[in-house]
């Protein structure tokens, strides 16, 4: 594979879901390119091991970590505070963490797990860190979507699939939410110097389907036959995080390091604005207190 032209040396890049799969491959490449990489994981021992591994591979100590379970909005808020306390600025925010769950699960905030992790966590983290991003010229937000978004539409009457839960359609729906959020964020950030783009990493051999009961075997088989390595999936993430060629480029959807068209539904600005308002309501701390009290 050809090398990615990079201008990320010395810049601070935060990567969620960075202890395995595409997130780990992304963190590894950014560290190798000289970035100060902040690894976000859930498990302390696993996260510490990844930090040690990346430091050894990159040949420098500019790899650090923060812990957060992104299904908890309180932990996302704590993560944002820790970023602000420890880093005066942030050059790149990569919202990579995500998953697919075979059975409906509810978070501590009363949110369906797929919506909570795949959409609301990136939404909340990015909006909380906007001032930290705006402290740097040409800061970048990179959100991981999927080609699966093309099979989805947004149904505001039942975002949580309370009536009948289907794992893959809900996953597709949340990846459409990621695109709608990314495009709306890019519009709201126009003129600030901060860019927001989304990426389709393609079919990749990862453990994203580990919570998908017996159907995980189908996912893993298809990924093994059709998919690429985590490094191949990470290339577009690394490109959007580091390439000079995309400085100032915002509100785009990338695959294989090139901008491509997303689904017609993803460009609906009325839906995007409504989703933004609904997401604000769903991440309101007052609401979380009501749900958990």
3-state secondary structure of 231: helix
Is 64:131 a contact under the CB 8 Å cutoff? no
Please report, for residues 51, 84, 169, 179, 233, the alpha-carbon distance to residue 194 in angstroms, rounded to integers and kept in the order given.
27, 17, 32, 17, 24
Catalytic (active site) residue 171: yes
Q: Out of 165, 168, 171, 239, which one is annotated catalytic?
A: 171
**DSSP 8-state code for residue 267:** G
**DSSP 8-state code for residue 5:** P
Q: Is 137 left (phi over 0), alpha (psi -120 to 50) or beta?
A: beta
As annotated, the active-site residues are 171
């Amino acid at each position: 594979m050809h090398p990615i032209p990079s201008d990320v040396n010395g810049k601070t890049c935060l990567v969620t879901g960075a202890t395995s799969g595409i997130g780990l491959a992304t963190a590894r490449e950014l560290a190798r390119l000289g970035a100060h990489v902040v690894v976000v994981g859930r498990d302390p021992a696993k996260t510490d091991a990844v930090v040690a591994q990346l430091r050894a591979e990159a040949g420098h100590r500019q790899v650090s970590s923060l812990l957060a379970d992104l299904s908890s909005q309180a932990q996302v808020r704590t993560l944002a505070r820790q970023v602000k306390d420890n880093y005066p600025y942030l050059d790149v925010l990569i919202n990579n963490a995500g998953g697919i769950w075979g059975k409906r699960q509810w978070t501590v905030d009363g949110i369906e797990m797929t919506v909570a992790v795949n959409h609301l966590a990136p939404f909340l983290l990015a909006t909380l860190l906007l001032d930290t991003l705006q402290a740097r010229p040409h800061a970048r937000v990179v959100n991981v979507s999927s080609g699966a978004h093309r099979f989805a539409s947004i149904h505001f009457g039942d975002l949580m699939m309370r009536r009948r839960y289907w794992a893959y359609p809900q996953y597709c729906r949340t990846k459409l939410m990621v695109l709608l959020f990314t495009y709306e964020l890019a519009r709201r950030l126009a003129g600030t110097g901060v860019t927001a783009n989304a990426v389709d990493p393609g079919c990749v051999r990862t453990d994203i389907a580990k919570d998908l009961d017996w159907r995980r075997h189908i996912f893993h088989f298809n990924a093994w036959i059709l998919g690429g390595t985590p490094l191949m999936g990470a290339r577009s993430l690394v490109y959007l995080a580091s390439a000079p060629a995309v400085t100032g480029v915002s509100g785009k959807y990338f695959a294989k390091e090139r901008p491509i068209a997303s689904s017609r539904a993803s460009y609906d600005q009325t839906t995007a604005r409504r989703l933004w308002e609904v997401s604000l309501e769903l991440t309101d701390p007052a609401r979380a207190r009501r749900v958990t009290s």
